[in-house]
Copies of this chain bind each other. A is one copy, B any other.
Amino acid sequence: MINVTKTFFPPLKEYRKHLRRIWGNEWLTNRGELVQELEMKLKNRFKVPYLTLTTNGTLPIQIALKVLANGGEVITTPFSYIATTSAIIWENCTPVFVDIDPDYLTIDESTIESAITSKTTAILATHVFGNPCAIELIENIAEKHKLKVIYDAAHCFGVEYDGQSIFNYGDLSTCSFHATKIFHTGEGGAFFTQNAKLHEELFYGHNFGHKGPEEFYGVGINAKMSELQAAMGLSVLPYMEDIMEARRYVVEFYDRNLDFSRMQRLKIREKTEWNYSYYPVILESEDALLRSLKRLKDRNIYPRRYFYPSLNTVDFAGKIKMEISEDISSRILCLPLYKGLKDTDLKLIVDCI
């Protein structure tokens, strides 16, 4: 069976090496040595000033909204994973969808301003498939209207934009280290910011507001990453260059061998060093997609309709029409992409599409 992705497992002995440290320290969570080491290594890797690891990739979005969006209207994209919209609603804010760019698949920055009202407090945009939003234009809008910008950068491990880590843009970025991601800690995530004061607020927010055992900075919840998760991150990290190289190979195979006369590939934004995180193709029609899916399934190959459905169509999200997002959601398929896919598998997939 070939799925859209396959979790990378580091050699078990690598993980065991870190486990022995945990057993030696007799320390399993609450800012252990391994969590701090992984934070430091990622900070150095991305050259970001502030980063806090979290137990999954949704909690940092929730904490960011609690700290920055203040129950207001949050302008967001309908073309993302459900977590983006759910976090907004869960945190008592109102999602206000604007449509997406049909080539880059990120939020259509030209429609953001018309969606701003007196209740708007923030923009929550997704760098879809690791493809950056129109960062400078969004920054201008946010500055003009005094809005906060939160980037859901769940797909963005390793992406650079204009010469630096994409995590350095916006008021803050969040990332996911879920098992399906390029780099993972089983479940896991992080938030990144360049603002020391904001980082402090987010950090307290992720650990009950604790300022020592008996004092509190403010309201917080538990989003702490444990040592067992950090051990996985530390075990995967040394393989990132291999993983990226293997993914680049698959992406270039698809690029060379797929017939783009009747389908569309993802247009990567200028000034971007991409991370080969997903291989989406947009077919001619939903019928064409369903036919391709059928052919693939018959050969035990399971790509993923991703993102589908368009989030504006989900019951609890308001059901306002978003033409481009709904159209693309109905026709887009993410092809299998992971380290370990064989050429014969890739040929078979290309033939089925």
Contacts and interface: CB of A to CB of B under 8 A. Distances in A.
Size category of the A interface is: 35 or more
Interface of A: 6-7, 9, 12, 15-16, 19-20, 23, 26-30, 55-59, 62, 66, 82-83, 86-87, 89-90, 92, 178-179, 184, 186-187, 208-210, 213-214, 216, 218-222, 224, 226-229, 232, 304-305, 308-309, 314-316
B89 A219 contact: yes
Is chain A's interface secondary structure helix, strand, loop, or mixed overall?
loop
Number of identical monomers bound together in the oligomeric complex: 2
A183 to B, nearest CB: 13
Given A86-B208, A186-B228, A213 B304 contact: yes
B208 A83 contact: yes
A227 B314 CA distance: 30
Contacts of A218: 315-316
B90 A221 contact: yes
Q: Which of A30, A89, A222 lies at the interface centre, i.e. has the most chain B CB atoms within 10 A of its CB?
A: A222
A209 B304 contact: no
A227 B56 contact: no
Contacts of A19: 12, 15-16, 19
A305 to B, nearest CB: 7
Contacts of A23: 9, 12
Contacts of A229: 226, 228
Q: Which of A20, A58, A216 lies at the interface centre, i.e. has the most chain B CB atoms within 10 A of its CB?
A: A216
B222 A59 contact: yes
A86 B186 contact: no
A229 B188 CA distance: 12
Given A179-B29, A187-B226, A228-B228, A87 B221 contact: yes
Nearest to A71: B92
Given A20-B12, A23-B12, A90-B221, A214 B309 contact: yes
Contacts of A304: 213
30 contacts: A6-B26, A15-B19, A27-B179, A28-B179, A28-B232, A29-B178, A29-B186, A30-B179, A55-B56, A58-B208, A58-B221, A59-B221, A83-B208, A83-B221, A86-B208, A86-B220, A89-B219, A90-B221, A92-B92, A179-B226, A187-B224, A187-B226, A213-B304, A213-B305, A214-B308, A214-B309, A216-B315, A219-B316, A226-B229, A228-B232
